[in-house]
Amino acid sequence: MREIYADHAATTFPRPPAVAAAMTAYLNNIGCSPGRGGYKRSLDAARLVYESRSRLAELFNAARPEQVIFTPSVTYSLNLLLKGLLRTGDHVLVSSVEHNSVVRPLSRLAGELELQVEFLQCNPDSSLDPLQVKKKLRPSTRLVILTHASNVTGALLPVYETGEILAGTDTFYAVDAAQTAGSEEVDFAALRCDYLAFTGHKGLLGPPGIGGMCISERAAEITEPLVEGGTGSRSEQERQPGFLPDKFESGTQNVPGIAGLNAGVLTVLDAGTEALGRQKRELTERFRQGLAQIPGIKVYGPTDAAATTATISVSIEGMDSGDLSFILDQAYGIMTRSGLHCAPYAHRTLGTFPAGTLRFSFGYGSTQLDVTEILAALKEITTAR
């Protein structure tokens, strides 16, 4: 049975062969840690890290490579900005479709710091009217945090419009690009945001275990690190150095991950984000049209292809999404993710809590044949019932 991978919103697979090759090349040809010695292998490691940092700055249009911070995951990046920025009593605006990587740390902080957390209520298709931001913004609002796209429906949120609304205010602005980096235009400067959190192992085609964040100069100054420790710089100081990127990068870095991500980003830059996004969107659009012709399938999220990523959530009436995912896997070799997708708020917004949905998501390795076979399988399953 042919395998059909339709879970690219979880992680990309298969990756460009250059990714594993770059990781192996680092381990075999360099192998050492950057900034920890003056010998060639250590300098080579530092150069590799700088190359990857520069390439990400190019991709995201960050003014200085040092504004790109490496972290173990986008979850870490989001925790870092929330815990590093927020203070007692702060007012925070957050969309109603955020992932648990925002919901859970924010929920804990809300209790500890008596935060005033207010939701920007998304529409039932999980789109968001930027007027919500205008309406709920206060002069004292400390932070607005938005995911660029829902990981459940693929709905794109108005992150650029929100940037315009917030420009010039004292409010900090964070965008979670976990679902969009590498497929949608993610422009740090044009977003006018303070924090752009990203992961390496989805649209950037890198390995799991590496992610990062672009950070504005004003945010870098006042954000506290999540982890302090050895940086190889200013070792005599018992306080963390204050400059970028060292302030936020302590301990031996994940250089194999950074090398793999570097290869992934190079692939993205070579192919072009726009071309990669267009290809996924075309597949998704064909999938959406096919779904509309299968009776009994409900599709969630915006219906306009331009308003979504390559992620689609569906349900079949009277059928558990877990069962459906299981049948697709066992009988058709189609890999999907069912349930709540670590995003209970998004499902509450959609009215699909707590049952959840079945999620299909396309990516770098997806083909027209995949779409054809998935549609055929769904037709067979719904007809057989």
Q: Which of residues 88-127 bind a copy of itself (CB under 8 A)?
A: 99-101, 103-105, 107-108
Closest distance to a copy of itself from the beta carbon of 259 (Å)? 10
By CB under 8 A, is residue 238 in contact with a copy of itself? yes
DSSP state letter for 248:
G
Residues 301-340 that bind a copy of itself (CB under 8 A): 322, 325-326, 329, 335-340
Contact 276, 360 (CB under 8 A): no
**Which residue from 168, 318, 351, 354 is in contact with a copy of itself, where contact means CB under 8 A?**
354
Q: What does the alpha-carbon distance between residue 292 and residue 18 come to, in Å, rounded to a whole number? A: 38
Q: Annotate each residue in 42-61 with x if it binds a copy of itself (CB under 8 A) or - if it does not, as one string.
A: x-------------------
Continuous segment of H or E residues that includes residue 117: strand 116-120
Among 18, 20, 113, 375, contact with a copy of itself (rule: CB under 8 A): 20
Distance CA 200, CA 63 (A): 20
Q: Would you say 2 or 135 has its CB closer to a copy of itself?
A: 2
Cα distance between residue 13 and residue 7, in whole Å:
8
Among 67, 141, 150, 253, binds a copy of itself (CB under 8 A): 253
Instruction: Name which of 171 and 321 has its Cβ closer to a copy of itself.
Output: 321
Would you count residue 230 as binding a copy of itself (CB under 8 A)? yes
Q: What is the DSSP letter of 361?
A: E
**Distance between alpha carbon 347 and the CA centroid of its chain, in Å?**
18
Query: For the packed helices 100-113 and 74-85, what is the interaxial angle rounded to 10 degrees?
Result: 20
Q: Which of these ranges, 6-14, 51-59, 270-278, 296-304, lies near a copy of itself under the rule CB under 8 A?
A: 6-14
14 residue type, one letter = P
Give the Cα separation of 247 and 238 in Å (integer): 13
Longest dimension (CA), the chain: 71
Q: Which region among 2-10, 135-143, 163-171, 369-377 touches a copy of itself (by CB under 8 A)?
A: 2-10
Q: Which of 227, 275, 292, 331 binds a copy of itself (CB under 8 A)?
A: 227
Q: Which is nearer to a copy of itself, 165 or 314 (CB)?
A: 314
**One of 75, 183, 267, 308 touching a copy of itself (CB under 8 A):** 75
Task: Tell the smallest beta-carbon distance from residue 40 to a copy of itself (Å).
Answer: 7
DSSP output for 131-178 = HHHHHH--TTEEEEEEESB-TTT-BBP-HHHHHHHHTTSS-EEEEE-T
The reply to whether 209 sits near a copy of itself by the rule CB under 8 A is yes
How far apart are alpha carbons 102 and 122 in whole angstroms?
16
Q: Is 237 in the site for a copy of itself (CB under 8 A)?
A: yes
CB of 290 to a copy of itself, least distance (A): 22
Half-sphere exposure of 91 (CA within 13 A, CB side): 11
- Write out the two tokens for 122: 């998304």
> Of 19, 86, 214, 378, which one interacts with a copy of itself (CB under 8 A)?
19
Near a copy of itself in 282-301, by CB under 8 A: none
Residue 76 interacting with a copy of itself (CB under 8 A) = yes
Q: Give the HSE-up count for residue 350: Cα atoms under 13 Å, Cβ half-sphere.
A: 34
